Amino acid sequence: MSKLNELTIKEAQEGLRSKKFTAVELTQACLDRIKERNKDINAFITVCEESALEEARIADGLLNSGQDAPLTGIPFSVKDAICTAGVRSTGSAKILDNYIPPFDATVIGKIRKQGGVLLGKNNCDAFGHGASNENSMYGPVRNPYDLSKVAGGSSGGSAAAVADNMSIFSIAEDTGGSIRQPASFCGMAGFRPTYGRNSRFGIMPMASSLDTVGPITKTVYDSALIMQQIAGADSLDATTIVDSAPDYLKNFEQDLKGMRVGIPKEYFSALGGPASGGEFKLDDEVKEITAKQIDKLKELGCTIEEISLPHTKYAIAVYYILVPSEDSSNLGRLDGIRYGSRQKGKDLYDLYATSRAEGFPEEVKRRILIGTYALSAGYYDAYYKKAQTVRTLIKKDFDEAFKKVDVLITPTSPFAAFGVGEKKDDPLAMYLADVMVSPAAIAGVPALSVPSGKNAAGLPIGVQIIGSRKNEEAIFRVGNKIEIRG
């Protein structure tokens, strides 16, 4: 048998219920691994050693008395931009260095009420701004497959913690790729649900019209299992979908005969262009691995059809107007008065200015400046309103595509994990890394990055499966048949 910390959620559930091991032993195995590896990988900002063991003892009690729920006794971690009651939640920015939320995010509350064991909080790009985890004020996260590479971002700590077997699963946030891209860089399954499927309550808001919360897990099955537990309407988030979420495990194993798969040609040619501030070339090995997954789907009885999403080339430009605009507005609440750390100032304005100057990293400041400019009188129509108009066109591309096909297959990222420091000082190059994950986010449709093997250098590559609004089930069915673990 694998070491306890190497188990999937499903395997851990079975072991706990058949009394092969206890929740305390399982939790201790994860804590030992964190102690051994976190100094090199930096996936955790806060580790809750004592409370985790206490929660595990309670979980063992529930398991022994038959009062257990599906996630009782399963150790998990949470992106630090998600609020956890009584546990420091910094968003990876010093302005919240001492912030201890008095409440759990709705999705975290659902897991903790079942007896899930909170191991600690995962490092991320500050407030989710980034694609490499280098915009954290707590240092970069290193890729467990090669410590000289980034883990991806913004949920790099979540992906690395699960990939390195420090945590059994992690809950993260995806506004424009932050679950899928790090999952792809670290060989994990990363799922972004339909916008509104999971409550955003208690997630530090980044761009409210795009923010979603979802799991990073070792297998696609585990992602479906977590969605089963956290999805659903919430009176604390008015944007949640009111109809009840489907049973994600019911048709999970069903074969794929007759499934219509679309290949959007724009993802395989030179994307970007002047509208996106640059171009990129799709890496040959990524192309090859994606093609192999498409061949596999053909063998499994899917019909494959090339389709077009013509407005894809505007996605980065649209995203980097809408997101900083919403960011700049949401971050207004962090003023040194209401939450977290406060710096001294000679008057109120000076207090705001110094608290924000010292508490935010460079990328957060950049977004506040861009967003404030894009929303200002005289520029609003030219930037924000125009971006919203083009957003509708991008969304319509997906609506048209899903009249013809059930799911779309694309690479998750144009390349495998890049070097620490390689793009850090080039914000536009960093923005372009989102070229394949931002369109689905702009359209609000669900998408999964599924582990699909490794390149010659031994770095994991993910393939993205995009589905139509609320059709998460089709994505899981496809992902289950093509995932390549290890």
Binding site for ligand GLN (CB under 6 A): 128-131, 154, 173-178, 206, 323, 434
Q: In the complex with ligand GLN, which residue's Cβ is closer, 206 or 447?
A: 206
Q: In the complex with ligand GLN, which residue's Cβ is closer, 75 or 193?
A: 193
Tokens representing residue 103 in the block: 């409440």
Q: Give the strand pairing for 303-307 and 212-217.
A: unpaired
167 three-class SS: coil
Position closest to ligand GLN via CB:
178
Q: In the complex with ligand GLN, which residue's Cβ is closer, 11 or 211?
A: 211
Q: In the complex with ligand GLN, which residue's Cβ is closer, 29 or 315?
A: 315
CB of 416 to ligand GLN, least distance (A): 16
Neighbours of 349 (CB within 10 A): 9
Task: Please answer whether residues 134 and 140 qualify as being in contact, where contact means their C-beta atoms are separated by less than 8 angstroms.
Answer: yes
Cis peptide before 154 (omega within 30 of 0): yes
Task: Please answer whether residues 124 and 106 qualify as being in contact, where contact means their C-beta atoms are separated by less than 8 angstroms.
Answer: no
How close are the terminal C-alpha atoms of the chain, in Å?
16
Q: In the complex with ligand GLN, which residue's Cβ is closer, 206 or 261?
A: 206
Q: In the complex with ligand GLN, which residue's Cβ is closer, 131 or 225?
A: 131
Residues 6+ apart with CB under 8 A from 286: 411, 413, 414, 415, 416, 455, 461
Write the CA distances from 5 to 102, 164, 269, 477, integer angstroms. Answer: 30, 9, 41, 26
Write the CA distances from 324 to 206, 320, 370, 375, 442, integer angstroms. Answer: 8, 6, 6, 10, 13
CB of 327 to ligand GLN, least distance (A): 8
Q: Which parts of 21-131 are beta strand (E)?
A: 44-47, 75-79, 117-122
Burial class of residue 92 in the structure, from the number of CB atoms within 10 Å of its CB (0-12 exposed, 13-18 middle, 19+ buried): buried
Catalytic residues, by residue number, are 79, 154, 178
User: Distance (Å, rounded) from C-alpha 89 to C-alpha 102?
Assistant: 10
Q: In the complex with ligand GLN, which residue's Cβ is closer, 323 or 370?
A: 323
- 115 phi-psi bin (left φ>0, alpha ψ -120 to 50, beta other): left
The answer to whether the Cα torsion of 402, 407, 409, 410 is positive or negative is positive
CB of 77 to ligand GLN, least distance (A): 17
